[in-house]
């Protein structure tokens, strides 16, 4: 009976889903996870695993989360499904690491970390976290106080620098300086922090001191303001990413919000007021696949143990059975679990 019931459940029609959003709090020393409807919960608890002043986050090929811990000059690793601490991935000061403001995986599978405190980009083994080399040296091309590094669609490494207000491009294989893509004389940026590349051929850049977002045409080099200064209450913008809903999500560091803008740069709404979950000074964000709440035992596989584990939670009135998050455990929660179990959280 039990086996046939499970088979019947997994044959139900799949449901549509969207990505979750991770947001790290600079001053609250934590990471929260938001669902597509804007509801959220703590993901990495304040100071979890020794986290202090998280600045940037990314996922690994092995399905974990890496977070830069500026306050301890290291990079920490967490389970992507639960937010539980795994280990110190890059140890404090390894290779001269000083104030790690961002990290990204390169085409070679290694991890590139901006070392803000000594004006470098350092490279580490993507599997072990061992130091490899200094990929970009201090002062190369005029680089100073690097904020963010990310590989572009052309395979080269782009690095934003707060001093001067510029974005630099380095050879993605050798680390040699190529050119200044945007410089302080362009006038449309002021303290560029983060940026993202989009399928439309533009590079979108948060301008923290200008309270705006600019966009750069990668073909023509034309730079223009995309989100006007202060639009929707935007204050000290930092992280930004395009969502599956074709909206631009931007962390408003100064107002403790995540704001959304449409493809024309017009304000849509406040997706989240981060203080509601205790997040102070949201600084970076990252879209990840939705958490699979039906995986009750957390082993990455949906099976009979999860099904009967949920039945036990439901029968016992445990908070873990509250799938709707309304504080009441009822039939809506039970069928919500069945939906996720049947679709494999796809």
Give domain status of residue 300, yes or no: no
Q: Residue range 318-344: average pLDDT? A: 80
Structural domain tally of the chain?
A: 2
Q: Residue range 112-125: average pLDDT? A: 97
8 A C-beta contact, residue 332 and residue 324: yes
Q: 144: exposed, middle or buried (C-beta count within 10 Å: 0-12, 13-18, 19+)?
A: middle
- Distance CA(338)–CA(9), nearest Å, equals 7
CATH code of 111's domain: 2.120.10.30
Q: Residue range 217-229: average pLDDT? A: 94
Give domain status of residue 74, yes or no: yes
pLDDT (0 to 100) of residue 93: 97
Q: Are residues 234 and 335 in the same domain?
A: no
- Distance CA(41)–CA(269), nearest Å, equals 20
Q: Residue range 208-216: average pLDDT? A: 95
Looking at every residue in the chain, the average pLDDT score rounds to 90
pLDDT tens digits, one per residue of 286-297: 999 876 778 777
pLDDT (0 to 100) of residue 113: 98
Residue with tokens 């996870």: 33
Confidence of residue 332 (pLDDT cuts 50, 70, 90): confident
Q: What percent of the chain has pLDDT over 90?
A: 71
The verdict on whether omega for the bond into residue 331 sits within 30 degrees of 0, i.e. cis, is no
Among the ranges given (35-39, 87-91, 167-171), the one the predictor scored with the smallest mean pLDDT: 35-39
Q: What percent of the chain has pLDDT over 70?
A: 90
Q: Are residues 220 and 105 in the same domain?
A: yes
Higher pLDDT, 1 or 59: 59
pTM score, whole prediction: 0.83
pLDDT (0 to 100) of residue 119: 95
Confidence of residue 345 (pLDDT cuts 50, 70, 90): low
Q: Are residues 233 and 275 in the same domain?
A: yes
Q: Are residues 320 and 243 in the same domain?
A: no
Question: Which range marks the domain in which residue 332 is found?
Answer: 2-12+305-343
Q: Are residues 132 and 275 in the same domain?
A: yes
pLDDT (0 to 100) of residue 333: 84
Q: Are residues 38 and 69 in the same domain?
A: yes
Confidence of residue 16 (pLDDT cuts 50, 70, 90): very low
């Amino acid at each position: 009976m039990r086996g046939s019931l499970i088979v019947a459940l997994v044959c139900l029609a799949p449901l549509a889903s969207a990505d979750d959003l991770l947001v790290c709090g600079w001053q609250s020393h934590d990471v929260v996870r938001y669902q597509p409807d804007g509801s959220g919960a703590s993901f990495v608890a304040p100071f979890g695993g020794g986290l202090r002043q998280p600045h940037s986050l990314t996922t690994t090929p092995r399905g974990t989360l890496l977070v830069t811990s500026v306050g301890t000059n290291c990079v920490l690793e967490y389970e992507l499904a639960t937010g539980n601490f795994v280990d110190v991935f890059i140890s404090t000061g390894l290779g001269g690491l000083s104030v790690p403001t961002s990290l990204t995986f390169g085409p070679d599978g290694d991890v590139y970390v901006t070392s803000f405190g000594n004006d470098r980009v350092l490279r580490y083994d993507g599997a072990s976290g061992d130091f490899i080399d200094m990929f970009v040296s201090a002062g190369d091309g005029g680089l100073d106080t690097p904020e963010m590094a990310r590989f572009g669609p052309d395979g080269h490494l782009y690095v934003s620098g707060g001093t001067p207000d510029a974005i630099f491009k380095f050879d993605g294989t050798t680390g040699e300086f190529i050119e200044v893509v945007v410089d302080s004389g362009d006038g449309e940026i002021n303290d560029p922090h983060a940026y993202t590349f989009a399928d439309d051929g533009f590079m979108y850049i948060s301008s923290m001191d200008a309270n705006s977002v600019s966009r750069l045409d990668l073909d023509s080099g034309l730079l223009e303001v995309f989100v006007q200064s202060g639009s929707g209450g935007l204050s000290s913008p930092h992280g930004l990413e395009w969502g599956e809903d074709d909206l631009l999500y931007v962390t408003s560091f100064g107002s403790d919000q995540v704001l959304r803008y449409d493809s024309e740069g017009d304000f849509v709404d406040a997706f989240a007021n981060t203080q509601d979950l205790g997040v102070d000074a949201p600084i970076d964000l990252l879209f990840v696949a939705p958490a699979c709440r039906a995986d009750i035992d957390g082993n990455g596989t949906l099976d009979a143990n999860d099904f009967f584990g949920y039945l036990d939670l439901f029968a016992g009135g445990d908070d873990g059975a509250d799938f709707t998050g309304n504080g009441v455990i009822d039939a809506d929660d039970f069928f919500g679990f069945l939906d996720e179990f049947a679709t494999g959280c796809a």
